[in-house]
Amino acid sequence: MTNPAITANGLRKSYGDKVVLDGIDLTVPEGTVFSLLGPNGAGKTTAVKILSTLIAADGGQARVAGHDIAGEAQGVRGAIGVTGQFSAVDGLITGEENMLLMADLHHLPRREGRRVAAELLERFDLVDAARKPASTYSGGMRRRLDIAMTLVGSPRIIFLDEPTTGLDPRSRHNMWQIIRELVSGGVTVFLTTQYLEEADELADRIAVLSDGKIAAEGSAEELKRLIPGGHIRLRFTDPATYQAAASCLRETTRDDDALTLQIPSDGSQRELRSLLDWLDSAGIEADELTVHTPDLDDVFFALTTRQPKETTR
């Protein structure tokens, strides 16, 4: 946790008069997972393209692995691995040939290249398909091959641009497992996703990107605290008890049809205990009590309410 793996200051990018990134600041400590969360068109992929030296920013600076992305692009490239939104595999050749191609481009000696390729194919469960053209692979297999190719050079920083978009639930959980293993090996992961659950599961820090700006940044817990909306819900089956409780409790939101009351709360133990004590002393017994803490969905919708306009061509 000494030097940040990635820092960015005021990154800007426009295509024509459409501003895609409008001044992005980021710091990603080494060995952590940073997730850039946002709806389609928020600028996530553009941010990855700039930080991975695929395209140049219009303004701002960024350093990746200690190298300036503009002046020392080759230094950045030597330290990173990128798996894009669309699989970056060569469909015309086999999975094994794709792996050996990466080994050659990382200048591994032949024998070591073959060993690394075989190990990764094994690890990503691609041995049976290794001799088939990559174009015949399923979506999940292509994505696994893509990550396996990225890992050939043992990069210290990995960019994963929506790695689970379009995958079925099992493949998605496999991908999460792969990402956790990478991080436990000390790799820094820069992850973009439109799935809140994914950011919540994997990321140490999350930045919510909306309309080219970072709307909020912090750990999942910190972000959830930003948004009010936590409450305790009491459900009754007996209308008389419901009415009694509703008339005694202040600051409640009533739902007369469902016989439920919502009391605002941060979900802390103290607040919960004081409510329970109060219910006990008033002799009210609810049939069901649930604590609802705000989840990332609440955060996400609260922060990204203004949807970016769809560009039409």
Partner 1 sequence: MSTLSLAVRDSTTMLRRNLLHARRYPSLTLNLLLTPIMLLLLFVYVFGDTMSAGIDGGGPNRSAYIAYLVPGLLLMTIGSTVVGTAVSVSNDMTEGIIARFRTMAIHRPSVLIGHVVGSVLQSVVSVVLVGAVAVAIGFRSTDATALEWLAAFGLIALVALAFTWIAVGMGMGAPNAEAASNNATPLIILPLISSAFVPLEAMPGWFQPIAEYQPFTPAIETLRGLLLGTDIGNNAWLAIAWTVGLTLLGYLWSTAQFNRDPK
Cα–Cα–Cα angle for 163, 168, 171, rounded to 5 degrees: 60
Residue 80 binds partner 1, judged by CB under 8 A = yes
Q: How far is the CB of 114 from partner 1 (least distance, A)?
A: 15
Binding residue (CB under 8 A) for partner 1 from 22, 23, 27, 93: 93
Binding residue (CB under 8 A) for partner 1 from 38, 43, 60, 84: 84
Q: How far is the CB of 54 from partner 1 (least distance, A)?
A: 6
Instruction: Kindly state the tokens that stand for 255.
Output: 């739902």
Instruction: Kindly state the tokens that stand for 69.
Output: 């992305």
Residue 88 binds partner 1, judged by CB under 8 A = yes
Residue 65 binds partner 1, judged by CB under 8 A = no
Residue 78 binds partner 1, judged by CB under 8 A = yes
- Locate tokens 């769809």: which residue? 310
Candidate segments 1-9, 88-96, 262-270, 278-286, binder of partner 1 by CB under 8 A: 88-96
Q: How far is the CB of 152 from partner 1 (least distance, A)?
A: 10
Q: Which residues pair with 68 in a beta bridge?
A: 63
Instruction: Give whichever of 77 and 172 is closer to partner 1, judged by the CB atom.
Output: 77
Q: How are strands ordered across the β-sheet holding 157-161?
A: 80-83, 157-161, 188-193, 33-37, 205-210, 213-218
Binding residue (CB under 8 A) for partner 1 from 23, 133, 218, 308: 133
Instruction: Kindly state the tokens that stand for 108.
Output: 């591994």
Q: Would you give the binding string for partner 1 spanning residues 151-190, x where CB under 8 A is met?
A: --x-------------------------------------
Residue 107 binds partner 1, judged by CB under 8 A = yes
Instruction: Give whichever of 85 and 243 is closer to partner 1, judged by the CB atom.
Output: 85
Binding residue (CB under 8 A) for partner 1 from 19, 70, 101, 249: 101
Q: How far is the CB of 37 from partner 1 (least distance, A)?
A: 22
| CA–CA separation, 81 and 71 (whole Å) | 19
Torsion angle defined by CA atoms of residues 125, 131, 133 and 136, in that order, rounded to the nearest 10 degrees: -50
Candidate segments 92-100, 195-203, 252-260, 285-293, binder of partner 1 by CB under 8 A: 92-100
Instruction: Give whichever of 68 and 280 is closer to partner 1, judged by the CB atom.
Output: 68
Residues of this chain that bind partner 1 (CB under 8 A):
52-56, 74-75, 77-78, 80, 82, 84, 86-93, 97, 101, 104-107, 133, 149, 153
